[in-house]
Chains A and B, each alone.
Chain A
Amino acid sequence: MAQRGIREYHGKKMLARHLDAYLEDSIGYQGKIVLVDKDTNWNQMLKENSWLKTDKLVAKPDQLFGKRGKHGLVLVNKSFEETRSWINERMGKKQTVNGIEGTLTHFIIEPCIAHEVEYYVAIKSAAAGDTIYFSLEGGINVEENWDKVISIPVPILEGIDAVNIAAALPDSLAEKKKLVAMFLKGLYKLFAELNFAYLEINPFAISGNRIIPLDLVAKLDDTAEYLCARQWGEDIEFPAAFGQNLSPEEIKIRELDALSGASLKLTLLNPDGMIWNMVAGGGASVIYADTVCDLGYSKELAMYGEYSGNPSTSLTYEYAKVVLDLMTRKKDPQGRPKTLILGGGIANFTDVAKTFTGIIKALHEFGDRLKSVNARIFVRRGGPNYQEGLANLKAAAEKIGVPIELHGPEYHMTRVVSDALKA
């Protein structure tokens, strides 16, 4: 992983905690914001945040999706009780956003800030440097007004101190120019020091000497955790994309993955699909999935999966069991055979015979169920001891009574995919 989205709540809390340290003066943002989920104790929250009672409030879901206003998911200028019942009505409900169905689980509540002008700022990274984007015409139509967005490049080596921000800002900002320049400079420093990968505040409002971020989207570079864990805060989380509801099997594989140094991945695409790819190696697993799709069988691709990083025999066994279980639950209604593709490139140093031992054990366990779904197995793998691994696999499949075709590195890596699809 690397760039991962965070909640608006955590992004704004980070601004409130750290931004002042990067500013020459304060912009007065205090981070009045609360995060609500199904377990929230409303009374406790009210006790700790008295502004909830006194201020008019804004509420919206905080689940890494945008265009909330367009989907009628922003509540504006309401009392605490109104806000509470509005959230309670929606909590745990299904919602389709931008064509994806998911469950609403997290909301934020903030004070409602009356404002006239909506400003836009975003910071993006590219190889040679970052770019600060700024516009006087922020809000939901910023993309349509992109020609009015000014961009301020910040070279990676020289940094923000070498950039004259004020000079790049439009004169129409007038007396606000100094404040905005200071804010952008501080915001950039926070962005860089806290290893953000992307930050967008659209819009933000200016009220006197205060700058108030109204809507925020951010991604962190999670590899920097060892540097920034303290600044990110203990409660930081990297939520799954909206609508990504994991099956118990996917959750199990994630847990196995987290427990070991090896890499195990499983994404169920179509449990009724005919093609089950269980592929060693990250790069190879993508190519096997691609090839099934490129050859026109994307609808038959049951899962995307990968095992790599020299998993132990027992880990491979656990992984194979999950895959075989999913694969053999149902017969194809038209009686077509289910195909297991045990693919992979040429391993560097992983002992192929050893990793196959775990798969063989699982195959034996699911022998009858494999036969009941008319399973076939296609194998292609190279690397240390692959001959022994293939021979063991062949013997096992023959003993179980499942048809199998096996190939080593002399066979083009994905040809087993076209073989399987043709057969």
Chain B
Amino acid sequence: MSRPDYLLFDKNTTSVIYGMQTKAVQRMLDFDYCCRRAIPSVGAMIDPGKSGTEKVFWGKKEIFIPVYPDVKTALQKHPDIDVMINFASFRSAYDTTMEGLNEPKLRTIVVIAEGIPERLARHLREVAVKKNKIIIGPATVGGIAAGAFKVANTGGTIESIIESKLHRPGSVGFVSKSGGMSNEAYNIIALNTDGLYEGIAIGGDAYPGSSLLEHLLRFEANPAIKMLVSLGEVGGEEEWKIVEAVKTGKIKKPLVMWVTGTSIKYMPRGIQFGHAGARADATRETAEAKNAALKEAGVVVPESFDDYDKAIKQTYEKLVAKGVIKPAPEVEPPVIPMDYAEAVARNMVRKPTSFTCTISDDSKDELLYAGHKISKVIGENYSIGETIGLLWFKERLPKWAAEFMEIVIKLCADHGPAVSGAHNTIVTARAGRDLMSAVASGMLTIGPRFGGAVAGAALMFKDAQDRGLSADAFIAELKKKNIKIQGIGHRIKSLKNPDMRVVLLKDYAARNFPGTRLLNYALEVEKLTTAKKDTLILNVDGCIGVLSVDMMYGLGWSEERIQQVVDGGGLNGMFLLGRTIGMIGHYMDQSRQKAELYRHPWDDILYDLPAGE
């Protein structure tokens, strides 16, 4: 798509954005949408060394902008792109702009970074001039072609843009150094004329990539622009070149201009005033000298900035009276949906949440466990049991209860390699899988037959005691239903050969618990079952289960709250948590040994297949 030299941007211009400035891209696309552009003004983005896509809104719809690792690739894929907006930092802006200058299809490069060394900036400019390209910047917000193309963050919010009528073209070309003041100037132009056609901020550095005059000459050549407006600045010779261009007839269109910095003579010597380039080294470079020379050359120069608006208005009205300008019609822009984040910030929307969390909070300054700051948890040396209490039960447990939890965890930590959890972990580790897979494989064996009887036992015994069943009646009821009592029975341990773990638990409870109601009940049941067979003892799962309920009684929790814990099966967590320690150990053990793949021996398997044909 070829455009005349004077036209950098039109409604079909597309650009590549160097740097993942998604916000700026969204602002450009919102502007596009307001202007009813047919295609987005951003064709591609560059994330050095990476590729992919970036999701942005096009009105209400989400679209993808492709992301490329470098300028060359982006331009190969998008041959229509002729503008690059370079967000690279001052450190890499030179190299990346050179990358752009070497692309034959790019015509315009906007350099946003502030603080590029002057020597490098001068170099960039000379290369651009040689290659007949235009650099806008460095240290600029960019520019805008009203109703057609907006560079990055130019113009501010979409509300400001519409208020300054930038969503449709007017008749005025504007150029200044300052990006901040260009926003104000678009407002002034909107208030006093039919609006902006194109506005450029060349940036505040001493050596901008393109000059005020170069842009004014483009505006002069553009038949759609009828009037020129500019803001100059103290320091530099640039405005004198404009004086020359007006005198020699290179600029014929009416130009309203004001050079700022008239107050510098009242300031102490050496003050840095606004921009890097704003420093008058000679009388010629003062704002007064330049304003006077411009005026003398025939430029419309107000008495002060305070009359800038009037000067623009009068010049515009003369052009309308002469019939040079036919005021541009007003256009109603489509409404852009507000971003959700912004609507939230402005208290304009609410939405129901999908999740609720009542135990921990990472959204505040400091991590909280059930309202306890992590600095307190560590500072006051909360035990593991107390920490578990915070996250499982939302309260700091008293010492006796916290210690009980820790004893359980220690007792359950491991039970040798032969039990199903450890076995699975070992087999999975030997199959070459990672820690998480091996431990998960072990964990998945925990259930009613292995380790998971804690919750079941608590549930059964508590239910029976709550219903006032005698130990006899309880056993009878289950026998009738043909249900095994959870938490009763061991493979080898018996009354005479007790399980040390159970002994320790009972001993701890006797010494520390306020009461052991459910344990006492379970022991009555045990008396009857062991009478039938001496291995039908209260096993470790059962003991943990009933003592957990006794712990909750001792904590003085409501019946409802205790039942909730028991029904939820959460008590199995104690076994699960404890045994994870052992399973991690088995994984480490196998990986230290570099144990090879395990294959079960054939002779250990009975093959008993149906006889085939």
Pick from A125, A157, A291, A417: contact of B127, CB under 8 Å: A157
**Contact of A415 with B by CB under 8 A:** yes
Q: How far is the CA of A418 from the CA of B307 in the complex (A)?
A: 10
Chain B residue at smallest Cβ distance from A5 = B270
The reply to whether A304 and B118 form a contact with Cβ atoms under 8 Å apart is no
Residues of chain A within 8 A of B304, CB atoms compared: 290-291, 294-295, 414
Q: List 24 A-B contacts (CB under 8 A).
A: A2-B118, A2-B206, A100-B269, A128-B126, A157-B127, A195-B117, A221-B117, A223-B90, A224-B117, A224-B118, A241-B270, A281-B180, A282-B178, A282-B204, A283-B181, A287-B260, A293-B263, A346-B187, A347-B183, A348-B180, A349-B153, A384-B156, A412-B306, A418-B306
Residues of chain A within 8 A of B183, CB atoms compared: 345-348
Min CB–CB distance B261 → chain A (angstroms): 6
Q: How far is the CA of A243 from the CA of B305 in the complex (A)?
A: 31
**Contact of B191 with A by CB under 8 A:** yes
The reply to whether B116 and A308 form a contact with Cβ atoms under 8 Å apart is no
Residues of chain B within 8 A of A291, CB atoms compared: 304-306
Q: Mark out the residues of chain B between 442 and 500 whose CB falls within 8 Å of any chain A CB in the assembled complex.
A: none
The reply to whether A286 and B180 form a contact with Cβ atoms under 8 Å apart is no
**Contact of B51 with A by CB under 8 A:** no
Min CB–CB distance A67 → chain B (angstroms): 14
Q: How far is the CA of A293 from the CA of B266 in the complex (A)?
A: 8
**Contact of B360 with A by CB under 8 A:** no
**Contact of B160 with A by CB under 8 A:** yes
**Contact of A409 with B by CB under 8 A:** yes
Given contacts A195-B119, A244-B269, A281-B181, 5 further A-B contacts (CB under 8 A): A157-B126, A157-B127, A287-B181, A384-B156, A413-B184
Q: How far is the CA of A349 from the CA of B271 in the complex (A)?
A: 28
Min CB–CB distance A44 → chain B (angstroms): 32
With A283-B180, A418-B306 as given contacts, are A409 and B187 in contact (CB-CB < 8 Å)?
yes
**Contact of B123 with A by CB under 8 A:** yes
The reply to whether A301 and B266 form a contact with Cβ atoms under 8 Å apart is yes
Residues of chain A within 8 A of B141, CB atoms compared: 348
Interface size on A, residues (CB 8 A): 60
**Contact of B48 with A by CB under 8 A:** no
Q: How far is the CA of A2 from the CA of B120 in the complex (A)?
A: 13
**Contact of B274 with A by CB under 8 A:** yes
**Contact of B163 with A by CB under 8 A:** yes
Residues of chain A within 8 A of B155, CB atoms compared: 348
**Contact of A423 with B by CB under 8 A:** no
Q: How far is the CA of A227 from the CA of B95 in the complex (A)?
A: 14
Interface size on B, residues (CB 8 A): 62
The reply to whether B305 and A156 form a contact with Cβ atoms under 8 Å apart is no
The reply to whether A286 and B123 form a contact with Cβ atoms under 8 Å apart is no
The reply to whether B184 and A2 form a contact with Cβ atoms under 8 Å apart is no
Chain B residue at smallest Cβ distance from A226 = B91
**Contact of A382 with B by CB under 8 A:** yes
The reply to whether B267 and A267 form a contact with Cβ atoms under 8 Å apart is yes
Residues of chain A within 8 A of B205, CB atoms compared: 2
Min CB–CB distance A331 → chain B (angstroms): 24
Pick from B117, B275, B309: contact of A227, CB under 8 Å: B117
Residues of chain B within 8 A of A128, CB atoms compared: 122, 126
Give a binary string over A298-341; 1 marks a CB under 8 Å from any B CB, 0 the rest: 10010010101000000000000000000000000000000000
**Contact of B287 with A by CB under 8 A:** yes
Residues of chain B within 8 A of A155, CB atoms compared: 126
Q: How far is the CA of A244 from the CA of B260 in the complex (A)?
A: 23
The reply to whether B260 and A283 form a contact with Cβ atoms under 8 Å apart is yes
**Contact of A391 with B by CB under 8 A:** no
Give a binary string over B283-296; 1 marks a CB under 8 Å from any A CB, 0 the rest: 00001000000000
Residues of chain A within 8 A of B160, CB atoms compared: 346, 348, 382-384, 409
Min CB–CB distance B187 → chain A (angstroms): 5
The reply to whether B180 and A282 form a contact with Cβ atoms under 8 Å apart is yes
With A301-B266, A384-B157, A415-B306 as given contacts, are A223 and B115 in contact (CB-CB < 8 Å)?
yes
**Contact of A127 with B by CB under 8 A:** yes
**Contact of A117 with B by CB under 8 A:** no
Q: How far is the CA of A409 from the CA of B304 in the complex (A)?
A: 19
Min CB–CB distance B224 → chain A (angstroms): 25
Q: How far is the CA of A281 from the CA of B127 in the complex (A)?
A: 32
**Contact of B277 with A by CB under 8 A:** yes
Residues of chain B within 8 A of A301, CB atoms compared: 263, 266
The interface of chain B, by Cβ under 8 A from chain A, is: 90-91, 115-119, 122-123, 125-127, 130, 141, 153, 155-157, 159-160, 163-164, 176-181, 183-184, 187-188, 191, 204-207, 260-263, 266-279, 287, 303-306, 308-309
The reply to whether A127 and B305 form a contact with Cβ atoms under 8 Å apart is no
Chain B residue at smallest Cβ distance from A159 = B123
Pick from B90, B118, B270, B278: contact of A195, CB under 8 Å: B118
**Contact of A135 with B by CB under 8 A:** no
Q: How far is the CA of A422 from the CA of B159 in the complex (A)?
A: 33
Residues of chain A within 8 A of B206, CB atoms compared: 2-3
Residues of chain A within 8 A of B278, CB atoms compared: 286
Q: Which secondary structure dominates where chain A touches chain B?
A: mixed
The reply to whether B267 and A304 form a contact with Cβ atoms under 8 Å apart is yes
Q: How far is the CA of A192 from the CA of B120 in the complex (A)?
A: 10
* Most B C-beta atoms less than 10 A away, residue of A100, A128, A294: A294
With A267-B271, A282-B275, A349-B157 as given contacts, are A414 and B118 in contact (CB-CB < 8 Å)?
no
Chain A residue at smallest Cβ distance from B287 = A290
**Contact of A289 with B by CB under 8 A:** yes
Residues of chain B within 8 A of A284, CB atoms compared: 180-181, 184
Chain B residue at smallest Cβ distance from A285 = B274
Min CB–CB distance B101 → chain A (angstroms): 12
Q: How far is the CA of A121 from the CA of B116 in the complex (A)?
A: 27
Min CB–CB distance B269 → chain A (angstroms): 5
Q: How far is the CA of A326 from the CA of B475 in the complex (A)?
A: 90
Residues of chain B within 8 A of A167, CB atoms compared: none
Residues of chain A within 8 A of B191, CB atoms compared: 410, 412
The reply to whether A156 and B269 form a contact with Cβ atoms under 8 Å apart is no
Q: How far is the CA of A411 from the CA of B205 in the complex (A)?
A: 30
**Contact of A136 with B by CB under 8 A:** no
Residues of chain B within 8 A of A3, CB atoms compared: 118, 206, 276, 279
Q: Mark out the residues of chain A between 83 and 97 whose CB falls within 8 Å of any chain B CB in the assembled complex.
A: none
Min CB–CB distance A305 → chain B (angstroms): 11
**Contact of A46 with B by CB under 8 A:** no
Residues of chain B within 8 A of A294, CB atoms compared: 262-263, 303-306
Residues of chain B within 8 A of A173, CB atoms compared: none
The reply to whether B305 and A413 form a contact with Cβ atoms under 8 Å apart is yes
Q: How far is the CA of A338 from the CA of B257 in the complex (A)?
A: 32
**Contact of A240 with B by CB under 8 A:** yes
The reply to whether B119 and A192 form a contact with Cβ atoms under 8 Å apart is yes
Min CB–CB distance A190 → chain B (angstroms): 13
Residues of chain B within 8 A of A240, CB atoms compared: 270
Q: How far is the CA of A294 from the CA of B517 in the complex (A)?
A: 93
Chain A residue at smallest Cβ distance from B182 = A283
Give a binary string over A207-236; 1 marks a CB under 8 Å from any B CB, 0 the rest: 000000000000001011011000000000
Min CB–CB distance B110 → chain A (angstroms): 16
With A1-B272, A284-B184, A291-B306 as given contacts, are A304 and B263 in contact (CB-CB < 8 Å)?
yes
Residues of chain B within 8 A of A295, CB atoms compared: 304, 306
* Most A C-beta atoms less than 10 A away, residue of B115, B125, B179, B304: B304
Q: Which 9 residue pairs across A and B have the least CB separation, nearest first? A: A241-B270, A294-B304, A283-B178, A345-B184, A283-B181, A2-B276, A224-B117, A293-B263, A348-B156
Pick from B116, B179, B270, B306: contact of A414, CB under 8 Å: B306
Q: How far is the CA of A128 from the CA of B123 in the complex (A)?
A: 8
Residues of chain B within 8 A of A244, CB atoms compared: 268-271
Residues of chain B within 8 A of A227, CB atoms compared: 117
Residues of chain B within 8 A of A195, CB atoms compared: 117-119
**Contact of A6 with B by CB under 8 A:** no
With A125-B118, A197-B118, A224-B117 as given contacts, are A345 and B262 in contact (CB-CB < 8 Å)?
no
Q: How far is the CA of A410 from the CA of B191 in the complex (A)?
A: 8
**Contact of A269 with B by CB under 8 A:** yes
Q: How far is the CA of A384 from the CA of B155 in the complex (A)?
A: 12
Min CB–CB distance B292 → chain A (angstroms): 13
Residues of chain B within 8 A of A286, CB atoms compared: 260-261, 263, 273-274, 278
